[in-house]
């Protein structure tokens, strides 16, 4: 699938001398947030300042008219109980992780409410007192009403990551692109934190990402995106304004797609530091 055309704008003639603002490149997006993104400088848990800053970026995009869905991880909470989970049955540990994602989703919903953005939490596990069950038609209706939809509890099944949940929900919601928010500003030829000469890919195919083991997403999520002909953008949520620049179609992060040439930028991690 080629990058979608810019969202249509109302056919209103601009006043003389006034230039209409550019329209977003994407009409509907799915943002994949890791639980670790909410920790900030803490070792685990949720840092209030960090979640408020992320919500401010999401709110800015929502006010552009973009429909936003979010899949959130739970590593920031599960990390605090991980020592006690050592030797635990894998399925049980995965269900604990799903509950952690629900806690993050509720925290994110509360922060969005304080920012004046209406949202709904839908959980793949039934916990009706605090979240709606995942119902595809209802989620689509929320998006059409410009409510942010936060998907919690992954796919609802053990042995699948929240990356896979992001690819799955993105396909079900018919999003134009899946945005994976990370700590680095794209996909690099090697770990930029360890290799100062690492160079960022501007574009990359799913097959190249899997063959080179670039850790863009887990293999199941990458294969799903590739097989469903989806677009994936990897960018840093910690760079101010990066989410808006991605949504506006600017050169931010790394675009992962199904076919075409692979390009690396001329900027290395050493040059950026």
Output 194-198 pairs: Cβ under 8 A, ≥24 positions apart.
195/269, 196/268, 196/269, 196/270, 196/273, 197/268, 197/269, 197/270, 198/268, 198/269
Bridge partners, residue 44, by sequence: none
**Bridge pairing between strands 177-182 and 254-257:** unpaired
Instruction: Order the strands of the 119-123 sheet from edge to edge.
Output: 132-133, 119-123, 148-152, 67-72, 28-33, 177-182, 232-236, 254-257, 199-205, 263-268
Going by C-alpha positions, the residue among 134, 129, 182, 131 that lies closest to residue 157 is 134
Separation CA 131–CA 154 (nearest Å):
14
- DSSP strand E in 125-223: where? 132-133, 148-152, 177-182, 199-205
Rounded to two decimals, the pTM is 0.86
- pLDDT tens digits in sequence order for the chain, 273 residues long: 555 444 444 455 556 666 667 899 999 999 999 988 888 777 788 999 999 999 999 999 999 999 999 999 998 887 655 566 677 888 998 999 999 999 999 999 999 999 999 999 999 999 999 999 999 999 999 999 999 999 999 999 999 999 999 999 999 999 999 999 988 899 998 888 888 888 999 999 999 999 998 889 999 999 999 999 999 999 999 999 999 999 999 999 999 999 765 555 545 555 554
Q: What are phi and psi of 25, to 5 degrees?
A: -75, -20
| Tokens 């990390």 -> residue | 79
């Amino acid at each position: 699938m080629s990058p979608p055309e810019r969202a249509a704008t109302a056919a209103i003639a601009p006043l003389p001398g006034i230039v209409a603002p550019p329209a977003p490149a994407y009409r509907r997006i799915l943002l994949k947030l890791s639980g670790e993104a909410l920790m900030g400088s803490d070792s685990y848990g949720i840092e209030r300042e960090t979640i408020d800053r992320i919500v401010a970026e999401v709110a800015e995009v929502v006010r552009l008219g973009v429909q936003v869905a979010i899949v959130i991880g739970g590593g920031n909470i599960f990390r605090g109980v991980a020592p006690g989970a050592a030797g635990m049955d894998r399925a049980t540990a995965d269900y604990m992780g799903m509950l952690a994602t629900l806690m993050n989703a509720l925290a994110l919903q509360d922060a969005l409410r304080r920012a004046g953005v209406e949202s709904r939490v839908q959980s793949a596990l039934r916990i009706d007192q605090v979240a709606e069950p995942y119902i595809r038609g209802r989620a689509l209706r929320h998006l059409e009403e410009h409510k942010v939809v936060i998907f919690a509890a992954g796919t609802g099944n053990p042995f699948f990551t929240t990356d896979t949940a992001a690819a799955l929900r993105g396909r079900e919601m018919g999003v134009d692109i899946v945005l994976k928010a990370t700590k680095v500003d794209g996909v690099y030829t090697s770990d930029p934190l360890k290799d100062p000469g690492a160079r960022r890919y501007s574009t990359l195919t799913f097959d190249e990402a899997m063959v080179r083991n670039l850790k863009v997403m887990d293999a199941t999520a990458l294969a799903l995106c590739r097989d469903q002909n989806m677009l994936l953008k990897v960018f840093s949520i910690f760079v101010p304004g990066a989410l808006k620049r991605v949504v506006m179609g600017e050169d931010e992060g790394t675009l992962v797609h199904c076919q075409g040439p692979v390009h690396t930028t001329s900027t290395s991690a050493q040059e950026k530091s």
